[in-house]
Structure 1
Amino acid sequence: MKDDAYSLNRFITDLRHTACEGRDEHWVIATMRPLVQRFALSCSWLEPRHYQADSAQGFGVHVLHEEPDHTLAVFAVSWLPGRGIPPHDHGTWAIVGGVDGPEKNVFWERTDDRTRPGYAELRQSGERVFRPGDVLAMPSGTIHSVCNESDHVTLSLHVYGKHVNFTDRSQFDPDRRRETPFILKLA
């Protein structure tokens, strides 16, 4: 069911209230999860530009909200058909809500001892295709990759404890066993 009355301003107010409770991230994620689902399914915030994606990057990142200190960032992310993003972490907790179309998430575990800079060993630990209304809650340290296996642009809503370009996040190449810093190109 679409909820046209749940505006971006109300959503941000609800997220701020939850974030200010000062509890641990698992409580914050659990409490925000239904808010993200409700807002992802509402149509009050969607604009045609949210479906635009950078062809070189394979996806588009549209900032809907960011606190002045970079905490509590909200993005609309569009994924081009057949494209995605390699394994990465966020440097913070993340909650992703499906808006339009299926997106495949593959989850990874780090198996090395993290003592060698730029080196990382990963193994796949699971996968899940999520659709509109589905919500993925990822605590800090979660590593996943995303792929749009459909023939049209898909869209998801992303809420982060901190804007990911202001965290020490990494992108991984499991075949080459590499870890590199990861900064998003924003639309």
Structure 2
Amino acid sequence: MFEVGRFIEDCKEALREDDTHGAVRGVVERAVAHPDDVLRGLGEPTRAGVDTIYQGEDLTILNVLWGPRMTMHPHNHLMWAIIGIYGGQEDNTFYKRATDGLEITSTKRLVTRDAAPLGVPVIHSVHNPLDKITAAIHVYGGDFFNTPRREWNPETHHEHPYDVEHTKRVFEESNRLLKS
């Protein structure tokens, strides 16, 4: 059974053992190997959004619920991350900085039971190609909400400071589509 408190403690303990993503990845892999347990522990998703499970200086754990057909523009985290899917599919496009903005380097599809690391310098965009919510546990090696990050316009690849209000609007638009 997935218990939120136990998951938080397991992530903290793993981080004490290894301050890279290595040990925490194992914790996330074990959790998403049993997606029905995670679903029972976190609840059936009904809305797109980001729920904070834990926030600290060296660790942030989020329950990220991508709405149907939702796309998040290119952005960075400036910290490592482990993404664990417990329902649905998350398509990632990875980029590197280029003279004129960004250049696509690769893509990776994550599906239920997958857990994948993202390194500190990673720039990526996320797309949920499904007509239902995709549910994922995101674990970050830092304070996700108090780290100044960057994002890029998806069409021009122009770089600017991360805009939290824009992100909220993207999730709300997705929720409007869920209702229709």
- TM-score, normalised to structure 2, is 0.81
Tell me the amino acid that sits aligned with residue 15 of structure 1. Answer: C
- CA positional deviation for 1:74: 0.6
**Where do 1:52-67 residues align within 5 Å?**
52-53=47-48, 60-67=49-56
Relative distance call for 1:51 and 1:156 in structure 2 (3 A) is: farther
The residue number in structure 2 matching 1:83 is 70
- CA positional deviation for 1:177: 3.4
Structure-2 separation of matches of 1:110 and 1:167: 20
Bigger helix share? 2
- CA positional deviation for 1:71: 2.7
1:15 partner SS: helix
Q: Determine whether 1:72 maps to 2:52.
A: no
2:28 partner SS: helix
Match of 2:122 among 136, 142, 155: 142
Structure-1 separation of matches of 2:55 and 2:46: 20
1:140 partner SS: coil
Structure-2 separation of matches of 1:121 and 1:7: 42
Tell me the amino acid that sits aligned with residue 47 of structure 2. Answer: Q
The residue number in structure 2 matching 1:39 is 31
The residue number in structure 2 matching 1:117 is none
Tell me the amino acid that sits aligned with residue 66 of structure 1. Answer: Q
- CA positional deviation for 1:174: 5.0
Matched residue count = 163
The residue number in structure 2 matching 1:175 is 155
Deviations 1:28-47 (A, max 9, x none): 21211121122233335221
Tell me the amino acid that sits aligned with residue 62 of structure 2. Answer: F
Structure-1 separation of matches of 2:97 and 2:137: 26
Tell me the amino acid that sits aligned with residue 53 of structure 2. Answer: L
* Kept in 1: contact 2:102–2:157 (CA 8 A): yes
Structure-2 separation of matches of 1:76 and 1:179: 27
Deviations 1:115-173 (A, max 9, x none): xxxxx611111111111111120111101110011111111110011232211211112
Deviations 1:44-82 (A, max 9, x none): 52213x4412xxxxxx10111112xx4311111111111
Relative distance call for 1:84 and 1:177 in structure 2 (3 A) is: closer
1:171 partner SS: strand
The residue number in structure 1 matching 2:98 is 111
Which ranges in structure 2 are unaligned for 5 or more consecutive residues? 173-180
The residue number in structure 1 matching 2:87 is 100
Relative distance call for 1:137 and 1:51 in structure 2 (3 A) is: farther
1:45 partner SS: helix
* Kept in 1: contact 2:89–2:109 (CA 8 A): yes
Match of 2:15 among 13, 19, 30: 19
The residue number in structure 1 matching 2:175 is none
- TM-score, normalised to structure 1, is 0.78
Which ranges in structure 1 are unaligned for 5 or more consecutive residues? 54-59, 113-119
Structure-2 separation of matches of 1:136 and 1:108: 16
